[in-house]
Structure 1
Amino acid sequence: MPNKIKESDLYQPIKNYLQCLDYEVKGEIKNCDIVAKKNEQIIIVELKLNLNITLLLQAVDRFSLSDIVYIAVPKQCSVYKKQSKQVKKLIKRLAIGLIVVDIQQDQQYVEVIFDPQDYMPRKNKRKQDALLKEFNQRVGDTQKGGSTRSKAGLTAYRQRCIRVAEFFLSQPIAKGMQINKAISEPQATRFLSDDYYGWFEKVERGTYQLSKKGKTELVEWQVKSAHLILND
């Protein structure tokens, strides 16, 4: 196994595998490492370098979002190698599926050890709706599963704020209603007033322009988002 393997190194092999099964796959949706969707079916995969209680608790918690939940670990992880039989028994009892990724220097191999068993927990409709909203609104696959939120952060919310900020490149001063009509962004006024990223500054009541920070960071995020989407 290569040195300094990261959780995000498990992402691309599993994404490729699921895409071969005709799933649309995206990483880091509402704290889920991998979300795959085909028609009405949703699969969630949690990634970890080692099998531990944190991973199992995360996986069980995901049953509020989907009936089909897997955990994925490197085939070389010590607990799986030493206690494979007991590990499989425990995971099956939790109704979770198990995927192992054999990470070699030049190639990665994905093996589904077993699929989730029949299990019908009560899903949290509100949380599932939030998961699907983020999945459907996010343009492209902009964040590797397993990467930290602070390092990536190109969520659907930020993508929408970028579109609002880009409007100011052609019209330096504008109202939220103008932006709404021009780019069909119903939350434009809220994004301006909340100013979550510090990109907008008020000129007068209801009227805004790009802040100095907004002008600087907009260029950075345009480049980053274009790169991420092109490499989807």
Structure 2
Amino acid sequence: MAVKRETELYAPLKNFFEKQGYEIKGEVRSCDLVGVRGDGEPPLIVEMKKTFNLSLLLQGVERLKLSPAVYLAVERCREKKGAVSQRWGELSSLCRRLGLGLVTVVFYKTKAPLVEVLAEPETLAGPSRGGGRRRERLLYEFHERSGDYNTGGSARVKLVTAYREKALRVAGALEAAEREAALAAAESAAAADSGGPVAAAGPVRAPVAGALPGGVTPAVLRRLSGVPSAAAILQHNYYGWFRRVARGRYTLTAAGSAALLEYAAVSVSQSARDRGNGGGDV
């Protein structure tokens, strides 16, 4: 059963490597699939294509600059009669000579896909050598993401990067602060119209400190969102989600509100907020 898109390979490969103890995330700094298993162990990198070709081979060789644990993954379609599909032994030998691993995925109509390792990378043990700075950026991006929100092999789609996650947390905190401020103002106005707070209704809501008047301060958003780089995110305003209404005060734009709806499924776990310290891809 031939796949239509290489993204279809991601789920079975993710499941396969998770069973080996890896934490898997897709589309990390242009790598289709990245896995991390233990301290000191090189990151797992998998590059996927529907069929084995020169582009995939060159991509794999380039990824060896980041880690020695690089696999190429393709579909193994039993229905195909082409020359390449019948030469897996030769392709496996080629990958081994280059230090690459080779994985195939067979899809069935009535049962789960079969993932098979035809060749292992040159080495999966010991510390990585070379490409230190690039590998650090890869691992930083991996760890700064709170979850796996991208499908490996995706093209021409918006990716949820660590930076986008942090911007979403700041936008969410800003929306919440503005909502609380609006409710507090409405309750104060209602109390004033009635000649003071009505006992049955309870005390007037206290506004979020720093949320009034007109906009919210970066300090408040840093505290509410748990993102230390909140001020830089607001100032750079890469996505156009924020508007500066006064010195040191910001409001959420229509684009920001739309983004919170678009990325509503993105988790904002407390552990990720605690880790956040700025940076990441955009």
Q: Size of the alignment, in residue pairs?
A: 223
| Unaligned 5+ runs, structure 1 | 227-232
Counterpart selection for 1:156 from 162, 169, 176: 162
**Equivalent residue, structure 2, for 1:213:** 255
Name the aligned partner's letter for residue 223 of structure 2: K
- Supply the distance in 2 between the matched residues of 1:94 and 1:131 (Cα, whole angstroms): 22
| Per-residue Cα deviation, 1:142-186 (whole angstroms, up to 9, x for no partner) | 1111112x4241111111111100111232321212211333311
Aligned to 1:7: 6
Counterpart Cα distance in 1 of 2:83 and 2:108: 19
SS in 1 for 2:266: helix
Instruction: Give TM-score scaled by structure 2 length.
Output: 0.74
2:224 to 182, 185, 188: 182
Equivalent position of 2:54 in the other structure? 53
Q: Cα 1:52–1:79, aligned 2, differ >3 Å: closer, same or farther? A: farther
Equivalent in 236, 241, 251 of residue 194 of structure 1: 236
Q: Map 1:1-232 to 2 at 5 A.
A: 1-2=1-2, 4-40=3-39, 41=41, 42-76=43-77, 78=82, 80-106=84-110, 107-118=112-123, 122-148=129-155, 150-172=156-178, 173-222=215-264, 224-225=265-266
Contact 2:68 2:99 in 1 (8 A): no
- CA distance in structure 2 between the partners assigned to 1:23 and 1:35 by the alignment: 9
Compute the displacement of 1:122 (Å): 4.4
* CA displacement at 1:85 relative to structure 2: 3.2
TM-score normalised by L of structure 1: 0.89
Q: Could you tell me how far apart the structure 1 residues matched to 2:254 and 2:92 are? A: 55
Contact 1:50–1:79 (8 Å) recurs in 2: no
CA contact (8 A) 1:175 1:208 kept: yes
The answer for the alignment partner of 2:208 in structure 1 is none
CA shift for structure 1 position 46? 0.5
**Distance verdict in 2 for CA 1:166–1:215, change over 3 Å:** same
**1:229 corresponds to which residue?**
none
Q: Equivalents in 1 of 2:255, 2:69: separation in Å?
A: 42
Q: CA deviation at 1:118?
A: 4.2
For structure 2, the 5+ residue unaligned runs are 179-214, 268-282
CA distance in 1: counterparts of 2:83 and 2:229, whole angstroms: 48
Where does structure 1 differ by over 4 angstroms across 4 or more consecutive aligned residues?
118-122
Q: How far did 1:11 drift?
A: 0.8
Q: In 1, Cα distance between the equivalents of 2:128 and 2:259?
A: 43
For 1:58 and 1:15, locate their aligned partners in 2 and report how far apart those are by CA, in whole Å.
19
Question: Closer, same or farther in 2 for the Cα pair 1:121/1:36, shift >3 Å?
Answer: closer
Distance 2:63 2:231 in 1: 34
The alignment's C-alpha RMSD in Å is 1.9
More strand by share: 1
Letter in 2 for 1:72: A
Report the alpha carbon displacement of residue 207 of structure 1 after superposing the two structures with TM: 1.5
CA distance in 2, matches of 1:124, 1:63: 9
Aligned to 2:195: none
**2:148 counterpart SS class:** coil
What's the offset of the Cα at 1:19? 1.1
